[in-house]
Amino acid sequence: MRMKFIFLLCLTLTLSVCVLSQEAVIDSLKTYHLGEVVVTATRSEKNLSDIGRSVTLVTGKQLESSIYNNLSEVLSQQEGVYIVGTGQNPGMLQSVFMRGANNNHTTIMIDDVRITDPSAVNNALDLSELSLTNLDKLEIVRGTHSTLYGSSAIGGVINLITKKSEKPGWNANAELKTGTFGEGTSEFSENVFVNYTVDHGLYVNGEINNSNVKGLDATVDTITDLNVYKHRDKDGYDHTDFVGKIGFIDDRFDVYASYKRTNQNTDIDKAAYIDDDNYTIDFRRNLFTYGASYHVTENLKLKYIGGYSDMTRIAVDDSSVVSASGETDHTYSDGTWRGSTSTNEIQSNLKLRGFDGVLGGGFYHEAMGFKTYYYSRSSFGVYELKTDLDSLDPNTSTKNIFAHVDLNSSLIDETFDRVSIAVGARWYDHSIFGSKLTYEINPSLKINENALMYLSYSTGFNAPSLFQLYSPERDFVSDITRGNKNLKPETSSSFEFGIKQTVSSNLSFSANYFRTIVDDAIEYVYLWDKNIGIDTLGNDYTRNDFRGDTYLNLGSQTSQGIEFSVSSKISEQFYFSGNFSLVSGKLNYKPSDIDSAQTQGHHVQIYSNGAFIRKEVETLGLVRRPNTVNLSLTYKPIERLALRVDLRHVGSRSDIFYDSRLGPYGALGTVPVADYTLVDFSQKFDVDEHISIGARIDNIFDTKYAEINGFTTRGRGFYLNTRYSL
């Protein structure tokens, strides 16, 4: 009720301004928005102010003029986006949550090619592997977008678009950054970009980005007994990107091919609160993207998009020192996870008066495999365990056909051009669960030249991961496998209502309300002997009550919220921008949703909260989905100098932890995490047209806070950078 009241208040104020300013805004931000063309929202070029969805564009110039260290810091400034890991030790896992959706419900793309981690349990990408290297712009579309982009686009889409041609001749820039964010920490990064563009349209790009971090102890130390031996270490991080791109672009053709190599090595710890002095992850990804577009006529364009990615993650956990004498715990483990994806799509764009249509289709394939080894030696002897999923050759493929049409009432009469409606549909055929259809309906109304009101109803889906489908672990009593090939995709329906308003050349804002329901949510569950009462499970230690673990489509997840953003040029020297996001949600489970063929009728316990599904269960609140506020004030005392203050507030929320008291084997419980507010200061000074110097102070007040339980966050940080552009 509180969120609905706030949204209605924002809407009332907005509509009042729309009416009062209808005649006064003829010379407003219309000119300013002409250059802001985005592609991701509709798969065709469209002005940002004309799109009836919540969209954010971050230009390359904005990225270059900032002193952000990584992609997650940029995304965290946007409404509707919360990323776990942004403030933690560099290299820590970074998970994105958009509009209350799960971390595997956001589609991440580079040049329209979806990037995932097929070897991960839920196929979610770790954002720490993505840098700001070679970025021309960043487009963010909130809300369900499976009609245009397929699986996982339930919370939204993030598209990283790389650089193409520059002005004719040699173009280059180099940047050095250094900083510290706690005692004994340091960060050094170097970036060099070179481009050569020929007059007739040929261009070649090359870029190298390197970061080396000596970090914090990534986990919180809660041991206060001075007699307990501790061998805690600080956790470092190294990241390198190599990028090459060649292409040709003119009035009719746009052809390109690019290659990106990412190497990343991270010191990690065992778990929340538990340090590990010899645990590292070595990650490598090769990414190829390629494509071509051709303007057949002024109104018709054909486009091909392709990409291939392979990744390898090698984890090694050697023995840890457990005593002052140098004794170790005599354990060793390693694992190698591999994954690959390929994308091939074609589309045609047709633009006529009042008509903008996209028709296309494609093929997507993903594969994964892993091998693990565990060794331990004790007084009982040597124990070894090996797993190998490679022999199963887990892979899936998806074929799809999609269509999207924007219809404007000027199609009937040019004098009536304020009403538009966008409709779209996608048919896809998955190699495991078969064919499905998603669709969207998106009407919009231009209240005046500078105000747009819109509605959207869209459906989406998220395919089960390869691990959830194929994981071979099998219970020796029930013979039930952890992987479940009978899994269906998670399906969603999403409603959104919003308004965008440009009040004057100095002020614009937007507001929206959304509600998303995800059905057939995939849950990891324990199974217990159906012949034994739930209240007595685990009471008899001479009896084995366990019947395995698996993945099931079970229940639904509802999230809803309000987003508001504002941008204002207060004066010639002062600029202000801000946004807030309110989000809430719940989970519902019903016994009728249980796949009894997979469970063999055994008791089902949900690992994420410990509940046994004997009756309908409702859980209020979603973990790691806080309300957020971002405020930014920029002051330019002279043209070459910009001073900026940023404030970020993250509301209280719940986090998960393993609770041994939940059921015989335990499960995940929830624990509150306190809210926090961070204040940052940055400045950029242009020495001349080629050289700029920047400085930044993060967390000015050295606020102590937590993003998730058990892991540390960075304290006050000082960063310097210098940039040279040719």
Distances (CA, A) of 492 to 35, 147, 149, 521: 34, 12, 14, 9
State residue 350's pLDDT score: 96
State residue 23's pLDDT score: 36
State residue 65's pLDDT score: 77
**pLDDT over threshold 70, residue 22:** no
User: Computed over its alpha carbons, how large is the radius of gyration of the chain?
Assistant: 26
Domain extents in the chain = 2-725
pLDDT 10s digits, 609-659:
999 999 999 999 899 999 999 999 999 999 999 999 999 999 999 999 999
Pairing status of strand 641-650 against strand 676-686 = antiparallel
One-letter amino acid for residue 253 of the chain: F
Q: What is the mean pLDDT of residues 277-282?
A: 94
CA 35 to chain CA centroid, nearest Å: 26
Residue among 178, 139, 35, 165 nearest 695 (CA) = 178
pLDDT 10s digits, 496-533:
999 999 888 889 999 999 999 999 999 999 999 999 99
**pLDDT over threshold 90, residue 327:** no
Does 325 or 687 have the greater pLDDT score? 687
Q: Which residues is 364 bridged to in the sheet?
A: 343, 398
pLDDT 10s digits, 474-503:
999 999 999 999 999 999 999 999 999 988
**pLDDT over threshold 80, residue 18:** no
Q: What is the pTM of this model?
A: 0.93
Cβ contacts of residue 382 below 8 Å, gap of 6+? Answer: 375, 376
Q: Could you say which architecture CATH assigns to the domain 2-725?
A: Beta Barrel (2.40)
Nearest-angstrom CA–CA distance, 90 and 212? 10
Residue among 158, 156, 157 nearest 516 (CA) = 156
Nearest-angstrom CA–CA distance, 549 and 719? 47
Cβ contacts of residue 498 below 8 Å, gap of 6+? Answer: 54, 453, 454, 510, 511, 512, 513
Q: Which H or E element spans position 685?
A: strand 676-686
Nearest-angstrom CA–CA distance, 411 and 388? 59
Segment among 190-199, 364-373, 385-394, 717-726 with least mean pLDDT: 385-394
State residue 392's pLDDT score: 84
Phi, psi torsion values for 3, nearest 5 degrees: -65, -40
Residue among 41, 154, 146, 40 nearest 98 (CA) = 154
**pLDDT over threshold 80, residue 30:** no
**pLDDT over threshold 70, residue 21:** no
Q: What is the mean pLDDT of residues 66-77?
A: 88
- DSSP-derived letter for residue 612 is B
**pLDDT over threshold 50, residue 26:** no
What secondary structure, in 3-state letters, does 549-588 show?
A: EEEEECCEEEEEEEEEEEEEECCCCEEEEEEEEEEEEEEE
Q: What is the mean pLDDT of residues 545-567?
A: 95
State residue 548's pLDDT score: 95
Q: What is the mean pLDDT of residues 78-82?
A: 94
State residue 245's pLDDT score: 97
Distances (CA, A) of 73 to 208, 487, 530, 629: 20, 35, 49, 14
**pLDDT over threshold 70, residue 378:** yes
CB 122 within 8 A of CB 60: no
**pLDDT over threshold 70, residue 74:** yes
One-letter amino acid for residue 481 of the chain: T
CB 199 within 8 A of CB 168: yes
Q: What is the mean pLDDT of residues 443-447?
A: 94
The mean pLDDT of the chain is: 91
State residue 423's pLDDT score: 97
Residue 229 banded pLDDT, cuts 50, 70, 90: confident
Residue 635 tokens read as 């002051």
Nearest-angstrom CA–CA distance, 579 and 559? 19
Does 680 or 223 have the greater pLDDT score? 680
Segment among 30-34, 407-411, 591-595 with least mean pLDDT: 30-34
pLDDT 10s digits, 150-207:
999 999 999 999 999 999 999 999 999 999 999 999 999 999 999 999 988 999 999 9
Distances (CA, A) of 666 to 542, 606, 658: 19, 10, 7
Nearest-angstrom CA–CA distance, 126 and 539? 40
Burial category of 550 from C-beta neighbours within 10 Å (exposed 0-12, middle 13-18, buried 19 and up): buried
Terminal Cα distance for the chain, rounded: 55
Residue among 339, 357, 333 nearest 347 (CA) = 357
What is the three-class DSSP state of 138? strand
Residue 419 banded pLDDT, cuts 50, 70, 90: very high
